[in-house]
């Protein structure tokens, strides 16, 4: 029986990632240990039940595909801690395992699952072997590691309190600013996976370059996002620039582009068609994120919004400055980007006064229709249903 099959059998039915353990064998390698599983509950990820009960959206993957993806994660951790680079670093291995288990697998995993869904749609049926599907799942977890790296550092720079319903990683008493190093190790872990599983793949260099490009573009976008300026700079042009770099590229284009490369599709025209749709979808997603940061229910979103307090250039702030009167702009100048709860309350009241929630709904509808028109105009050789599913999972989301 293959090691992957043993792992899947061992972790069949896995719903939580916090309780699996690794133990050294007689040869000095870390091996997975079976424990009693605790189901994924509202204490770890409170929005799960809400989403599953209320969503009637087309799913990116089947339940079986999701389970296969989830069940691979312990094997991913085992591979990483047994990497030769950590051979004589037993002192830090427990911390590394703890960081992986806490930061990587407990979100919605839409980016990682998008790799799997895209590959299943883009690859020729004859090539959908168990091994190739496993490689798609591994690539998906590499994307989730990049996502975890970004979130660990983003929470720290934003001063966020919670992530996925629990304290941000840096908020743990024994972590603090050392979370920076944990984040960097999460990023470097994905390259360990690429080298182990894809070094002989024809598109290995393409995969590595795409991850590097995604990391660079997102970091530049994050720098723009953290460059807090006065309210006169809260414009839609600046917002589009931030979002195109910070969110859209790695969250939406990266997973599909990885699947294209895994299926040996390097056609630049195909990649450009996909990129046009997916960057627009990423912008759409970020505008929703901005709205939920302000008006979402933390019990559903799993995080407490800080965009107003930190003075971020969000869609809501840019739209407010676009439609506000002179006196209303003065209110923005006086209260936006302040840490006092009373200032935050005044900004939210101003947003309501300016009908920002209604303007958001109008934006959502118009953007959805525009992206749908892009999908309809795709070349026939590209799977329209894949992009429809990606968009359906984004439209009208509540978390």
- The residue from 163, 283, 346, 389 that is catalytic is 163
What is the C-alpha to C-alpha distance for residues 74 and 9, in angstroms, rounded to an integer? 12
DSSP state of 58: P
3-state DSSP assignment of residue 23: strand
Question: Tokens 């293959």, residue?
Answer: 2
294 torsion bin: left (phi>0), alpha (psi -120 to 50), beta (else):
alpha
- The residue from 75, 101, 111, 246 that is catalytic is 246
Contact in structure between 261 and 283 (CB atoms under 8 Å): no
- The residue from 57, 95, 108, 348 that is catalytic is 108
- The residue from 44, 134, 158, 388 that is catalytic is 158
Residues 6+ apart with CB under 8 A from 345: none
- The residue from 155, 290, 293, 307 that is catalytic is 290
Is 293 assigned a catalytic role? no
What is the crossing angle of helices 315-323 and 356-376, to 10°?
A: 110
- The residue from 17, 249, 285, 360 that is catalytic is 285
What is the C-alpha to C-alpha distance for residues 313 and 112, in angstroms, rounded to an integer? 27
What is the C-alpha to C-alpha distance for residues 17 and 376, in angstroms, rounded to an integer? 39
Contact in structure between 183 and 149 (CB atoms under 8 Å): yes
Contact in structure between 214 and 222 (CB atoms under 8 Å): no
3-state DSSP assignment of residue 138: helix
Is 19 assigned a catalytic role? no
Is 297 assigned a catalytic role? no
Contact in structure between 314 and 290 (CB atoms under 8 Å): yes
- Nearest alpha-carbon partner for 250 in 228, 219, 293: 219
- The residue from 70, 154, 293, 307 that is catalytic is 154
Is 109 assigned a catalytic role? no
- The residue from 155, 225, 293, 307 that is catalytic is 225
Is 158 assigned a catalytic role? yes
3-state DSSP assignment of residue 218: helix
Residue 32's beta-bridge partner residues? 22
Residue 111's beta-bridge partner residues? none
Is 70 assigned a catalytic role? no
- The residue from 11, 45, 73, 149 that is catalytic is 149
Is 96 assigned a catalytic role? no
- Give catalytic residue positions: 108, 149, 154, 158, 163, 225, 246, 285, 289-290
């Amino acid at each position: 029986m293959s090691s992957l099959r043993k792992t899947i059998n061992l972790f069949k039915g896995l719903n939580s990632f916090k309780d699996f353990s690794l133990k050294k064998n007689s040869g000095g390698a870390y091996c997975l240990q079976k424990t009693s599983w605790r189901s994924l509950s509202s204490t770890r990820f409170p929005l799960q039940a809400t989403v599953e009960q209320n969503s009637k959206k087309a799913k990116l993957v089947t339940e079986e595909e999701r389970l296969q993806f989830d069940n691979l994660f312990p094997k991913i951790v085992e591979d990483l801690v047994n990497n030769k680079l950590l051979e004589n670093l037993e002192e830090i291995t427990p911390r590394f395992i703890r960081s992986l288990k806490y930061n990587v697998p407990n979100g919605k995993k839409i980016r990682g699952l998008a790799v799997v869904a895209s590959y299943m749609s883009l690859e020729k049926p004859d090539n959908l072997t168990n091994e190739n599907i496993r490689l798609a799942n591994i690539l998906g977890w590499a994307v989730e590691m990049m996502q975890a790296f970004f979130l660990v550092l983003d929470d720290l720079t934003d001063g966020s309190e919670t992530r996925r319903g629990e304290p941000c990683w840096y908020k743990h008493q024994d972590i603090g600013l050392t979370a920076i190093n944990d984040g960097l190790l999460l990023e470097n872990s994905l390259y360990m996976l690429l080298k182990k599983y894809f070094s002989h793949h024809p598109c290995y260099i393409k995969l590595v370059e795409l991850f590097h490009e995604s990391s660079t573009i997102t970091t530049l976008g994050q720098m723009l996002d953290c460059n807090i300026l006065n309210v006169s700079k809260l414009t839609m042009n600046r917002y589009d620039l931030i979002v195109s770099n910070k969110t859209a590229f790695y969250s939406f284009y990266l997973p599909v582009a990885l699947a294209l490369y895994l299926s040996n599709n390097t056609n630049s025209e195909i990649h450009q068609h996909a990129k046009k749709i997916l960057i627009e979808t990423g912008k759409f997603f970020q505008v929703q994120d901005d709205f939920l940061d302000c008006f979402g229910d933390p019990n559903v979103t799993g995080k407490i919004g800080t965009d107003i307090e930190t003075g971020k250039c969000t869609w809501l702030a840019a739209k407010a400055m676009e439609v506000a009167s002179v006196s209303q702009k003065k209110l923005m100048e006086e209260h936006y980007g302040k840490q006092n709860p009373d200032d935050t309350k005044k900004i939210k009241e101003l947003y309501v006064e300016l009908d920002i929630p209604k303007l958001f709904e109008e934006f959502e509808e118009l953007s959805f229709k525009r992206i749908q028109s892009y999908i309809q105009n795709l070349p026939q050789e590209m799977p329209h249903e894949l992009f429809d599913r990606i968009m359906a999972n984004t439209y009208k989301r509540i978390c």
